Chain A
């Protein structure tokens, strides 16, 4: 399997603090991979490091063999990495339509087709298309946040804890949408909600104290109660 996103011994820092201290992750084309770990383990920082929002100190960080370390965030995104940040990252003063348009690389027929596809995927957004996103519920904002990068032809989608702060019934809808999305796009999901992680992920990595400590296929983790207790507190 040729890897799409690859990190090896990745170390990154925020100010004087080294947060990631050796993360090895490989995601292949078309895969759905989940990163698990406790609060503060470095999962969000890992995604932010890939996006260039946190500085890389050393190690390998590549997309399709191209080095991403040191590149500005906007250029990394343009290489084909869609990013769904923690806490939605939707823009309150923009309508749903404007949030989507802002994300578009160009407004051609192909992009509009993809927009129609995401509006079918999230009918709530179609209803609220002209509304300011500050008027949306938490679940709708999460849907908008996931929908936004899908208007472009990304190689991979990084999604940071989409279940955060949502009611269980909404999480189920998000899970269904992610299962649909992963049919077309490579997905790297950071998640604390084990049920959602299991519903989406085929393989997993566990990050603990800034390092990858375990990885494997999702079915093995589901069976391995010791591993769950040790690193996930389940």
Chain B
């Protein structure tokens, strides 16, 4: 029972992260028809932007609070603040840790949102309706921007610890529950509720739902849908960036291969959840998250292929996805 609870919580946490990536990807693909292979690099940039902001801001704060703290090393060209020696018994107060964490997350999301605008305006904009060109151009962006990460921060893995106030573990009904996992579940659920409200209650939500069926007919109602495309692409990017920022502390490091690995999961969710189907993305992400941890424990031999296997089975027997496409075009 204890193991089961531990597994469910960490599976849901994984699912929450996958959801942050997959929800944007699904709407971008469903509405704009854009096969975005650069989504992983946006996730990755979220992670690196978070890491850079976190370490930089933390160094400043520590040096301002403890002027006699000293630097012990550098990592990837950055000040390795985890190595800063504080006098025994001195830690940063909770409010400062919270400030550093929240501001770093916001910076990461903002950076990737701006990247999303630039990607859409400069590249994606030119290849609407042209799937082969989309694949080539987004794959190109993926390669270039992933390499750029290596150029800026180096090819090596950079350690990334969780903020101290989320780093604990509690026992619950015999299971061990990491606080960070609970935090991820709360963030995932909150984001899901916000997106759901936006889609069902706002004008941009109406445009998204209508655009999933026919962007052309939306435009014929006098709506400049290209403007919405930019905002939606950038918002999807920002969600991926948020996912990246939250992912790195979960796994304890930042590494340039993380983007591609997580992008594959997001594409699998889009396939099993149904194109443009928000609820499908949500349930598909939870399913994949739970399956990932359960397979890793009970059938570790197939953990690498399990996700792809599920996708293949869904494609063969229910090509429109387990939860159906959002709308028939």
A contacts, CB < 8 Å to B: 51, 53, 72-75, 77-78, 83, 85, 89, 91-94, 98, 101-103, 105, 134, 148-149, 152
- Judging by beta carbons under 8 Å apart, are A89 and B220 in contact? yes
B132 within 8 A of A: no
Using a CB-CB cutoff of 8 Å, which residues 195-217 of chain B contact chain A? Answer: 203, 206-207, 209-210, 212-214, 216-217
Of B221-229, B231-239, B247-255, the one contacting chain A is B221-229
- Judging by beta carbons under 8 Å apart, are B220 and A102 in contact? no
When distances are taken between beta carbons in the complex, the residues of chain B under 8 Å from A149 are: 221
Q: For the complex, what is the distance from the CA of A75 to the CA of B209, rounded to whole Å? A: 21
Given A91-B209, A98-B206, A105-B222; 6 other pairs, CB 8 A cutoff: A53-B216, A85-B217, A92-B328, A93-B209, A93-B212, A148-B221
- Judging by beta carbons under 8 Å apart, are A74 and B219 in contact? yes
Q: For the complex, what is the distance from the CA of A38 to the CA of B80, rounded to whole Å? A: 75
- Judging by beta carbons under 8 Å apart, are A93 and B210 in contact? yes
Using a CB-CB cutoff of 8 Å, which residues 33-90 of chain B contact chain A? Answer: none
- Min CB–CB distance A158 → chain B (angstroms): 10
> Can you offer 8 A-B residue contacts whose CB atoms are under 8 A?
A51-B220, A72-B224, A73-B216, A74-B220, A74-B222, A98-B206, A102-B207, A103-B221
Interface size on B, residues (CB 8 A): 21
- Judging by beta carbons under 8 Å apart, are B214 and A91 in contact? yes
- Judging by beta carbons under 8 Å apart, are A91 and B222 in contact? no
Q: Which single member of A72, A75, A93, A98 contacts B213 (CB below 8 Å)?
A: A93
B295 within 8 A of A: no
- Judging by beta carbons under 8 Å apart, are A102 and B221 in contact? yes
When distances are taken between beta carbons in the complex, the residues of chain B under 8 Å from A93 are: 209-210, 212-213, 326-327
When distances are taken between beta carbons in the complex, the residues of chain B under 8 Å from A53 are: 216, 219-220
When distances are taken between beta carbons in the complex, the residues of chain A under 8 Å from B217 are: 85, 89, 91
Q: For the complex, what is the distance from the CA of A101 to the CA of B206, rounded to whole Å? A: 9
- Min CB–CB distance B60 → chain A (angstroms): 47
Q: Which single member of B206, B216, B220 contacts A94 (CB below 8 Å)?
A: B206
Which residue in chain B gives the minimum CB-CB distance to A134? B327
Q: For the complex, what is the distance from the CA of A149 to the CA of B218, rounded to whole Å? A: 12
When distances are taken between beta carbons in the complex, the residues of chain A under 8 Å from B326 are: 93
- Min CB–CB distance B203 → chain A (angstroms): 8
When distances are taken between beta carbons in the complex, the residues of chain A under 8 Å from B221 are: 74, 77, 102-103, 148-149
Q: For the complex, what is the distance from the CA of A75 to the CA of B102, rounded to whole Å? A: 42
Q: For the complex, what is the distance from the CA of A55 to the CA of B213, rounded to whole Å? A: 22
Of B207, B210, B212, B217, most A-chain CB atoms within 10 Å: B217
When distances are taken between beta carbons in the complex, the residues of chain B under 8 Å from A105 are: 222
Q: For the complex, what is the distance from the CA of A98 to the CA of B213, rounded to whole Å? A: 14
- Judging by beta carbons under 8 Å apart, are A102 and B216 in contact? no
- Min CB–CB distance B251 → chain A (angstroms): 37
When distances are taken between beta carbons in the complex, the residues of chain A under 8 Å from B213 are: 91-93
When distances are taken between beta carbons in the complex, the residues of chain A under 8 Å from B212 are: 93
Q: For the complex, what is the distance from the CA of A134 to the CA of B210, rounded to whole Å? A: 12
- Min CB–CB distance A61 → chain B (angstroms): 16
